[in-house]
Amino acid sequence: MKLLITGAGGQLGQEWVHFCENNQIVFLALGSQDLDITEKSKLLENLDSFNPDVLINCAAYTKVDHAEDEPDLAFKVNAEAVKNISEICFLKGIKLVHYSTDYVFSGDINDRFTFPKGYPEDGITNPVNEYGKSKRAGEIGILESGCTYLIIRISWLCGSYGDNFIKTMLRLAEERNELKVVNDQYGSPTFADQVVEQTSRLLLENCEGVFNVSSGGITTWYELAKEIFRLKKKEILIEPVSSSEFKSKAARPYFSKLDIQKISTIPGINIMHWQKGLKRFLNTF
């Protein structure tokens, strides 16, 4: 199986490169400096020369607050470019793997009780910010293209590469004695290496469609921070606060948990509880 990876410089892209190198998979990794996915002709050039079986699209516009001021750019990358990619994949018979987000849902706090296991793959989408709207538009482009696809929705992504919540907490713990952390947003961290491994298993099993990928269990950012510092034996005072303490331009979801029942039925996939996944991550990071 030959893989072409776009967005290879990001958290997931770098994790895919690491995975492919360790598993002797034939791949071509293209970062943003190598390929702007909005340039259709450049994409075609690379696909024609490399001729992959699968295109792994890790490229995305992810600046949630900035998207409120520049929605056109967010939609250009997350929707228009993705639509072009999916149509090209359909014409060339290439399977598309595309990563999406919990932000395609409303994140309403009441959904915590409506969907105690998290949002299911077929749940009604209702994004509340421009980033979420652009990502949902990208999903729709894929669904309408006719290509063979895997849409993988993830939330609270944490990995060895790039910036994320866990790294931020560890950095702040070196700089401060006290921290305020939001305690009214619910979800579960998704570890990048697990995303790649589970996506690979979906490919090996010839799966298609939409899948949620995340850890087992549910927590808040505050409880996650507490567990990080407990495992790292960091003495720091953490104050739980409401989201209103941190002003942001874009509305943030209060509920980000994704239902992982569907993917848990796939042979070879074992879902790890977020606490176990966090301990594993901190031991290897």
Candidates 131, 149, 222, 254; catalytic one: 131
Any domain includes 44: yes
Is 149 marked active-site? no
How large is the angle between the packed helices 165-175 and 274-284, nearest 10 degrees? Answer: 60
Output the six-digit token pair for 126.
């209702």
Mean pLDDT of 37-42: 92
Can you give the pLDDT at residue 102? Answer: 98
188 contacts 220 by C-beta, under 8 angstroms: no
Cα–Cα distance, 172 to 176 (Å, whole number): 6
Asked if the structure places residue 177 within a domain, the reply is: no
Phi, psi of 217, deg, nearest 5: 85, 175
Check whether 10 has a pLDDT greater than 90: yes
Q: Cα dihedral sign for 114, 117, 121, 125? A: positive
Note whether residue 176 is domain-resident.
no
Q: Give the pLDDT confidence of 234-280 residue by residue, as tens digits.
A: 999 999 999 988 889 999 999 999 999 999 999 999 999 999 999 99
Quick check: is 232 in a domain? no
Which amino acid, 272?
A: M
Structural domain for 21, as ranges? 2-163+188-217+254-271
Instruction: Encode pLDDT of 200-224 as tens digits.
Output: 999 999 999 999 999 999 999 999 9
Q: What CA–CA distances, in Å, run from 50 to 44, 63, 89? A: 10, 31, 13
CB 156 within 8 A of CB 187: yes
Predicted confidence at residue 186, as pLDDT, reads 97
Is there a domain that residue 242 lies in?
Answer: no
pLDDT at position 285: 72
CATH number at residue 144: 3.40.50.720
Q: What is the distance of C-alpha 159 from the center of its chain?
A: 10
Domain assignment present for 231: no
Residue 148: CB atoms within 10 Å? 16
pTM for this entry: 0.95
Other Cβ atoms closer than 10 A to 140: 14
Tokens of 210: 């939409």
The alpha helices in 177-251, defined as continuous H runs, are: 192-204, 221-231
- Asked if residue 40 is part of any domain, the answer here is yes
pLDDT, residue 61, reads 96
Amino acid (1-letter code) at residue 76: K
Residue 284 pLDDT more than 90?
no
The residue behind tokens 């595309």 is 98
Residue 285: inside a domain: no
Quote the number of domains for the chain.
Answer: 1
Q: Which residues contact 57 (CB under 8 A, 6 or more apart)?
A: 6, 7, 37, 82, 85, 96, 97, 98, 99
